[in-house]
């Protein structure tokens, strides 16, 4: 049931404050001092001693995996590789018994992801699932796992499942960082606190829908779009681009912002909208330079910035503000305006938002 919403995708975008709360329900202590992940407690020894973590997934779940890579390396200091399940399984990968494989899948049915974990299991690795659909095939093959509890996602373009996957990965990385002694108790608690503020911060972003819709209107006829981000926001750039292509059929590419000068910059002219993830973090100065590079070539810049940013406001064609947060939390906030952009552009172009052509919600073919 879509309730008062025109499409499931829009409903699911709006559900995110609740779906994220559902993801951490019962997993974060009331006083924000601790994280409990019952589903992986049995494999905590393997996880905290893992020589490396391999994340296997497809599509949007793969993007969540890259956020996971940055989180695990930052907080838990465990090397991570993020693999397209389809490439991983077919290339005779090196898998050891002290590797932990994390499969991320909304549906829990993606054929390549399922086959990848079956193979890794045969090599003796520990397999953990981060899935949304309870009782689906992937959770049945894993040794342990954490359900995302985002609720049923009907729109083919994944929105709330993505933010719940990132929420689980953040909780896992913090818990591991604490267990391994890399995170000071004060930092651990501060980050848990930040995480619990995400639903309210997303509520604030949802209020900007009308303004974001106007930006969508300005760029709805574009033939191409670029999405740029650095650090934790690089995977958000990939996800923003995927969301636009799959539902509006506009060609879009996501790049680490610094890679722009190695090729994509040649594409920039006055017809190219460039979405830049530019919240205040340690690469802020660098991203400001990237925006200048785009403007110097007459590209149109739509920047996602931290509330109150005055510097980028002067340079960009449009800014969309998100509440201030720790840089590790920023993917959860900055992806939301990009979901709105794709949704509104697709609706304005008359596309079937919930059932885009050629796509299926669950990809059970290899």
What is the contact surface with ligand F6R in residues (CB under 6 A)? 58-61, 105-107, 110, 113, 157-158, 242, 246, 362-363
* Residues labelled as active-site residues: 361
CB of 144 to ligand F6R, least distance (A): 18
Minimum CB distance to ligand F6R smaller for 154 or for 315: 154
Category of 164 on φ-ψ map: left (φ > 0), alpha (ψ -120 to 50) or beta: alpha
CB of 242 to ligand F6R, least distance (A): 6
Beta-carbon count within 10 A of 48 CB: 17
Minimum CB distance to ligand F6R smaller for 54 or for 268: 54
Q: Which residue is nearest to ligand F6R (CB)?
A: 59
Q: Tokens in use for 365?
A: 């073919």
Cβ–Cβ < 8 Å for 139, 131? yes
CB of 212 to ligand F6R, least distance (A): 19
CB of 362 to ligand F6R, least distance (A): 6
Minimum CB distance to ligand F6R smaller for 120 or for 191: 120
Minimum CB distance to ligand F6R smaller for 240 or for 323: 240
Beta-carbon count within 10 A of 156 CB: 18
Minimum CB distance to ligand F6R smaller for 111 or for 206: 111
CB of 243 to ligand F6R, least distance (A): 6
Q: Tokens in use for 326?
A: 């720790």
* Residue 153: partners with Cβ closer than 8 Å, 6 or more residues away: 12, 106, 132, 159, 160, 161, 361
């Amino acid at each position: 049931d879509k309730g008062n919403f025109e499409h499931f995708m829009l409903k699911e975008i709006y559900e995110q404050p609740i779906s994220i709360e559902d993801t951490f329900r019962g997993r974060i202590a009331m006083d924000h001092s601790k994280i409990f992940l019952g589903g992986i407690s049995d494999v905590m020894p393997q996880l905290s001693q893992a020589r490396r973590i391999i994340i296997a997934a497809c599509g949007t779940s793969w993007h969540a995996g890259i956020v996971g890579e940055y989180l695990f390396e930052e907080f838990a200091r465990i090397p991570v590789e993020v693999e397209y399940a389809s490439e991983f399984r077919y290339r005779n990968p090196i898998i050891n018994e002290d590797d932990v494989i994390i499969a991320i899948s909304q549906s829990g049915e993606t054929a390549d992801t399922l086959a990848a974990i079956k193979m890794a299991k045969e090599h003796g690795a520990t397999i953990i699932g981060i899935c949304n659909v309870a009782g689906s095939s992937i959770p049945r093959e894993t040794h342990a796992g954490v359900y995302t509890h985002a609720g049923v996602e009907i729109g083919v373009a994944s929105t709330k499942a993505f933010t719940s996957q990132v929420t689980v990965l953040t909780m896992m990385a913090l818990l591991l960082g604490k267990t391994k002694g890399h995170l000071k108790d004060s930092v651990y608690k501060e980050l848990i606190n930040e995480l619990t503020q995400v639903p309210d911060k997303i509520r604030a972003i949802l209020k900007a829908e009308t303004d974001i819709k106007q930006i969508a209107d300005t760029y709805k006829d574009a033939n191409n779009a670029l999405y740029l981000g650095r650090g934790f926001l690089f995977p958000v750039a990939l996800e923003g681009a995927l969301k636009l292509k799959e539902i509006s059929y506009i060609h879009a590419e996501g790049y680490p912002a610094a890679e722009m000068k190695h090729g994509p910059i040649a594409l920039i002219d006055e017809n190219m909208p460039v979405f830049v993830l530019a919240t205040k973090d340690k690469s802020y100065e660098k991203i400001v330079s990237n925006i200048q590079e785009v403007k110097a070539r007459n590209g149109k810049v739509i920047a996602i910035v931290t509330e109150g940013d005055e510097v980028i406001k002067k340079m960009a064609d449009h800014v969309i503000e998100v509440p201030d947060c720790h840089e590790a939390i920023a993917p959860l906030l900055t992806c939301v305006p990009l979901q709105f952009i794709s949704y509104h552009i697709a609706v304005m172009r008359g596309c079937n938002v919930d059932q885009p052509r050629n796509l299926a919600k669950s990809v059970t073919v290899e």
